[in-house]
Amino acid sequence: MKVNYAGTVPLSTLDWGGKAAVTLFFRGCPLRCPYCQNYPYLEGSKTVELDSVKEQVRNSSPFVSSVVFSGGEPLMQKAVVPLAEFAKTLGLLVGIHTNGCYPEIANELVKRKLVDKFFIDIKAPLNSPELYGKVAGCGKYEAVKKAPDEIIASLTETIEIADSSGLELELRTTVIRDFIGNDEDIASIAAWISRNVKSREVIYVLQQGIPEHSLQENLRKTRVLEREELYELGKIAKNFLKNVRIRTKETGEEII
């Protein structure tokens, strides 16, 4: 089996808070978020043999407790399943970073007990297909084939699968000044999570977007949201949710 592979971080303490992880990056994504910093991974093909990626995991396994699949969008690739199986044989926890567009693969991983934590992006309010489409690149990039309603439906299903599984769940929104993540956006997202996610232990993280490396050039000079501004947005989310955090370049992760 081949893997459309972007690279490995052999030892990361950032991709799964509190755990040392080997992080695998996969190429390909069905979305084109204008602020995406990993856009070199979104297109193109650099296929390698599955066994060579397994070897990367094996080499890191003495030094880590987990493997994180990221991208791009890892659940686009069937190789995620055998890689998760392999990680489990090494005694590693498995975390998935996903945009939620592939609920069927998420469900397979849950049913086969091959995943321990989902990190799922909620990119915009789910009651606003127009805004969600803007943030996902719908209508602007030919690579985005799904309509906003389809993206939201898949995301909702993926969140339901993760929530029902009883596994750890982190939901997160990347905030970019004057693009996504104003007071109303965050209140809407947090209220939706409160109404639709059963787990009271769900974590909601507001991430400080760094626009200077964005896919969309006209975002690159956007001023980064200050830590204090993000903290105020976190307080809005806290009106609806128990576990809210912010993540900034200056201070790392903070609990609200």
pLDDT, tens digit, for every residue of 147-166? 999 999 999 999 999 999 99
Please give the full DSSP string across 172-212, using - where no structure is assigned: EEEEBTTTB--HHHHHHHHHHHHHH---TT-EEEEEE--GG
- To which H or E segment does residue 159 belong? helix 148-165
Cβ within 8 Å of residue 133, ≥6 positions away: 139, 147, 148, 151
Predicted local distance difference test score (pLDDT) of residue 189: 98
Say which residue, 114 or 43, is predicted with more confidence.
114
Predicted local distance difference test score (pLDDT) of residue 45: 84
Cβ(25)–Cβ(38) below 8 Å = yes
Summarize pLDDT for 164-199 with one digit per residue, the tens: 999 999 999 999 999 999 999 999 999 999 999 999
What is the Cα Rg of the chain in Å?
A: 17
**Sorting pLDDT into bands at 50, 70 and 90, what band is 9?**
very high
Summarize pLDDT for 216-240 with one digit per residue, the tens: 999 999 999 999 999 999 999 999 9
Tokens of 183: 């007071």
pLDDT > 90 fraction of the chain, expressed in percent and rounded: 96
Summarize pLDDT for 100-109 with one digit per residue, the tens: 999 999 999 9
Cβ within 8 Å of residue 55, ≥6 positions away: none
**Sorting pLDDT into bands at 50, 70 and 90, what band is 39?**
confident
Tokens of 211: 């626009």
Provide the β-strand partners of residue 7: 25
> Could you tell me the pTM of the whole model?
0.96
Largest CA distance in the chain: 48
Cβ within 8 Å of residue 182, ≥6 positions away: none
Domain covering 2-255, topology:
TIM Barrel (3.20.20)
CA atoms of 217 and 34, how far apart (whole Å):
8
Predicted local distance difference test score (pLDDT) of residue 31: 97
